[in-house]
Structure 1
Amino acid sequence: MIFDRYGRPVLSMRIQVNTVCNFHCFFCHMEGTGVHAAQLDAEGIERIVEVASSFGVNKVKFTGGEPTLRRDIVDIVRRTRKHISGNISMTTNGVMLPRLARQLREAGLDRVNISMHSTEEEGFRIITGTNFLGRVKEGIRAAKEAGLGPIKVNFVVLNGINVHQIPAMMEFCAEEGVTLQLIEYETTRERMHSEEFQKYHVPLEPIEREIASRARAVEHNSLHRRPEYLVEVNGKDLWVEFVKPMRNSEFCNHCTRIRVTSTGELKPCLMRDDNHIDIKEALEKGDTDALRRLFIRAALSREPYWKPYEDPRVVQAPESF
């Protein structure tokens, strides 16, 4: 196992397998890469996973772009399962899951996070640029039928667009038997005062307090120590998880993840693009020793993005919630 200089172990890896997507969400950060960037082949991804697993990494999440648009995504999952006995998951918009969910499950995928940022057709179109809301719902049901789980529905909370839909989203997720993950709209320090961030950002603390007041149980996800609350909605149990990265030192202090971009770089921190470690040459040469050295270098360069003195959280409730 590898620890960074702040005592945080590296236990999980998030692998961006592509940058192509059939949605056009305006807040997508693409892991810091550009649209239609290069992508690693399945063999290269397997070699990265093999090296990471030798250092104790035993959880992998695939992301994009939209990972299900890769024709070899099932093969990538199968190759990963050879080296990872722990949880293998994927973040997806769900559109391709009616066709792929069972194949992915059989290849070794354990669970999925499915992005559904609106319960209303118009809000969904504004956010994603598509009319695929019905197909996303089909994808959620296909994932359940295939035995993927627990399924989490990602909902980025946006002021003026979907914050008022949280109660309806809770009803939908309770009915479907999936976890609702409320995600804070995020940006870097440099863009915190931008017009876009000020327009859409919603502090989640007031919403969390409301959910917590109704909770029958509380747990914390080991990654980022994210709080999860068990509430009852229309007679059904629902877990609601809160992802609050902005100015949140606890979120950073409990980060155990390292990232891989589709362009062949190790990315020590979600919020930074200035300390990537290029591994393309080592992959092309099949140089495992070099890959191991680069992985160690990337792990040791990790540091919490938000420090304790930077996390006075804004707590006023949005007017529309």
Structure 2
Amino acid sequence: MLKDSFGRVATDLRVSLTDKCNLRCSYCMPPEGLDWMPSAQLLTADEIVRLVRLGVERLGITEVRYTGGEPLLRRELVDIVARTTALAPRPQVYLTTNGIGLAKLAESLAGAGLDRVNVSLDTLDPETFKRLAHRDRFADVIAGLEAADRAGLRPVKVNTVLMRGVNETEAVPLLRFCLDRGYELRFIEQMPLDAQHGWKRENMVTADEILAMLEPEFDLTPDDLEERGSAPAERYLVDGGPARVGVIGSVTRPFCAACDRVRLTADGQIRNCLFATEESDLKSALRAGATDDELAERWIAAVRGKRAGHGIDDPSFLQPSRPMSAIGG
């Protein structure tokens, strides 16, 4: 198993399929975009599936989440999902996406065995969307959500980042929107992972503030706090349930002590944390002819060195050099 020195066991694998994205959200990258990795640096579909298979069959991975960048931009996505869901033991397979293009692919992904999607939606106002993402694609995201629901990729989860002076007034409307459609909304504190390194704590809308916005309008009841385990979201029953809303306080309410995640970047590096400053190279060994045993040993050694926490509140904290788009969510 993938066990670190603090006794935590990684069972949740996040796999970035590409660093490319068709949006330019201000909390992730600058309006002009970034230099993408050359194709030759990216893991091939066969290499991705081999490493995922190794994680599932030998190292105890039970959940696989494909991310980006924007994973829908990866041409082999449906094939990768199908090959992942065919593994034994079968892992749960999820996708985190901005939703653009999901309207065309939702049925195919469901047919390949995808279990669920998380779609990013930070606003219900098309003009705010355009200002935030620097692209006029609001209608495409809404169409993607609707297609995922029709395809049975439920519960469709919606990820929202609230930013002061941008969209923080939309907490209540966004929750009503999701409740009306049967989606499960999760608010996520803005994290210091932007390529511009412009994150400021005072611009972040905190978990406490989000709950304070919601509580006058909804009856929120903590949902099985004892059973939260390693889940990042604190979930609440809305108006007695069964509908729920989640709040992920990555900065102010860190869940590092129960973290069960490990990440594989699009260029074949193992990362133990979004905020890690170290990576462990699997791609070079893989392309040099390493056996499954050798790759497994490298992976086990990499996870063994996982730090106790992300350290955002430590005076010595340094934002990782890679932005979110190059790490994978």
Task: Using structure 1 for the length normalisation, give the TM-score.
Answer: 0.86
Task: With a CA cutoff of 8 Å and minimum separation of 6, indicate the structure with the bigger relative contact order.
Answer: 2
Give the whole-Å Cα distance in 2 for the aligned partners of 1:58 and 1:265.
20
Give the whole-Å Cα distance in 1 for the aligned partners of 2:166 and 2:232.
28
Secondary structure at 2:161 match in 1: strand
Question: 2:246 maps to what in 1?
Answer: 241
Cα offsets for 1:49-94 (capped at 9, x unmatched): 1111111111000100110111110011111112252321011011
Secondary structure at 2:251 match in 1: coil
Contact 1:224 1:252 in 2 (8 A): no
1:308/1:135 Cα in 2 relative to 1: closer, same or farther (>3 Å)? closer
Question: 2:55 maps to what in 1?
Answer: 52
Give the whole-Å Cα distance in 2 for the aligned partners of 1:256 and 1:153.
22
Question: 1:226 maps to what in 2?
Answer: 233
Give the whole-Å Cα distance in 1 for the aligned partners of 2:229 and 2:291.
33
Amino acid at match of 2:163: L
Question: 1:103 maps to what in 2?
Answer: 108
Amino acid at match of 2:67: T
1:88/1:300 Cα in 2 relative to 1: closer, same or farther (>3 Å)? same
Cα offsets for 1:254-307 (capped at 9, x unmatched): 1100000011100111112x2100111222125212211111011101123246
Give the whole-Å Cα distance in 2 for the aligned partners of 1:10 and 1:70.
26
Contact 1:247 1:310 in 2 (8 A): no
Question: 1:70 maps to what in 2?
Answer: 74
Secondary structure at 2:185 match in 1: strand
Question: 2:295 maps to what in 1?
Answer: 291
1:24/1:297 Cα in 2 relative to 1: closer, same or farther (>3 Å)? same
The CA deviation at 1:238 is 3.3
Contact 2:79 2:112 in 1 (8 A): yes
Give the whole-Å Cα distance in 1 for the aligned partners of 2:176 and 2:102.
22
Give the whole-Å Cα distance in 2 for the aligned partners of 1:140 and 1:277.
35
Contact 1:114 1:154 in 2 (8 A): yes
Contact 1:157 1:183 in 2 (8 A): yes
Secondary structure at 1:229 match in 2: strand
The CA deviation at 1:3 is 1.8
Aligned alpha-carbon RMSD (Å): 2.5
Task: Using structure 2 for the length normalisation, give the TM-score.
Answer: 0.84
Gaps of 5+ in 1: 312-321
Gaps of 5+ in 2: 316-329
Cα offsets for 1:221-247 (capped at 9, x unmatched): 4334521112149xx953110111115
Contact 1:248 1:306 in 2 (8 A): no
Give the whole-Å Cα distance in 2 for the aligned partners of 1:304 and 1:171.
37
Report the identity percentage.
30
